[in-house]
Amino acid sequence: MNERDFDELSAGHALHALSAEDERAYQQALAARPDRQAHGRADETAAALLSDAVADETPPADLRARLLAQIATTPQTPDAVAPGADAEEALLPNDLAGPSAVTGPRPSRFGRAWFALAASIALIVAVGAGVAVFSQQVQPSPAAVALERIEGAGDAQTASTTLADGGVATAHWSPSLGEAVLVSDGLPEIPEDRAFELWFIRDGTPISAGVFTAEGDDATARLTGDMHAGDVIAVTIEQAGGSPTGDPTTDAIVAIPTA
């Protein structure tokens, strides 16, 4: 089975939209190529995220009529058929065609073309602004990417501290990468016109490393700029956008030495 056929089957499986024949073809393809398991899991994850990101919508009353009209004008022939090839066989996934193919009704791209067209129209109707939300959920944040990079470094280190209200803040850093990420659980609630500001305290001098906000009381934030060995990673509460003076204006709620 070529990659295009597998992509179609994998997408249909993730959305529970395959016929019995196509589901069997999909499972056979996985058995023949176990390395495709990761592709299938990725499609299932994407389908689940899309479902979570989009609110339930009532389809328009004329959706079925418009769908049928679209299908009526959509060519239902393969892009290319080799001279002398059986037209039905040309529509089959590569590893199901030929003398060894299963007898009886054969899966074809007609069913999957119907599905792809119907899914496209349904998603246009249902998704709307949810596409942006879905994209944000699928795309990892820069802080998450940096944290993964740090954790993969041979000299990765961590240190934690307890906040005044009982929360915990953990610094992750790698001297060789010069990067640091702060993961916090239990940050204090702050007004909308305030923000948390990160600092490298280097030889007693504070260096701003960016501002961040928390979702609830949790946050994962990457410190901007290069970290130096022995820096203290600190957090203060400043006005939105960061300290107007370039120095902390409040006492630190987090201070984690890296030496």
- pLDDT at 130 exceeding the cut of 80: no
Q: CA 231, CA 227: separation in Å to the nearest integer?
A: 7
Average pLDDT over residues 109-128: 52
pLDDT band at 120 (very low <50, low <70, confident <90, very high): low
Q: How far apart are alpha carbons 93 and 72 in whole angstroms?
A: 24
Percent of the chain scored above 70 by pLDDT?
66
- Of 175 and 82, the one with more pLDDT: 175
Q: Under a CB-based contact definition with an 8 Å cutoff, are residues 4 and 36 in contact?
A: no
Q: Residue 11: pLDDT band by 50, 70, 90 thresholds?
A: confident
> Which phi-psi region, left, alpha or beta, contains residue 66 (left: φ > 0; alpha: ψ -120 to 50)?
alpha
Note the maximum CA span of the chain: 81
pLDDT tier at 102, thresholds 50, 70, 90:
very low
What is the C-alpha to C-alpha distance for residues 199 and 250, in angstroms, rounded to an integer?
Answer: 12
Token duo for residue 177 = 């990468």
Q: What is the mean pLDDT of residues 218-240?
A: 95
Instruction: Give pLDDT, residue 56.
Output: 60
| Cα–Cα distance, 26 to 13 (Å, whole number) | 8
pLDDT in tens, 26-61: 888 888 888 888 887 887 877 776 666 555 666 666
pLDDT of residue 58: 66
User: Per-residue pLDDT tens for 156-207?
Assistant: 999 999 999 899 999 999 999 999 999 999 999 999 999 999 999 999 999 9
Place of tokens 């090839």: 85
Q: Residue 232: which residues within 8 A CB-CB, separation 6 or more?
A: 200, 201, 202, 255, 256, 257, 258
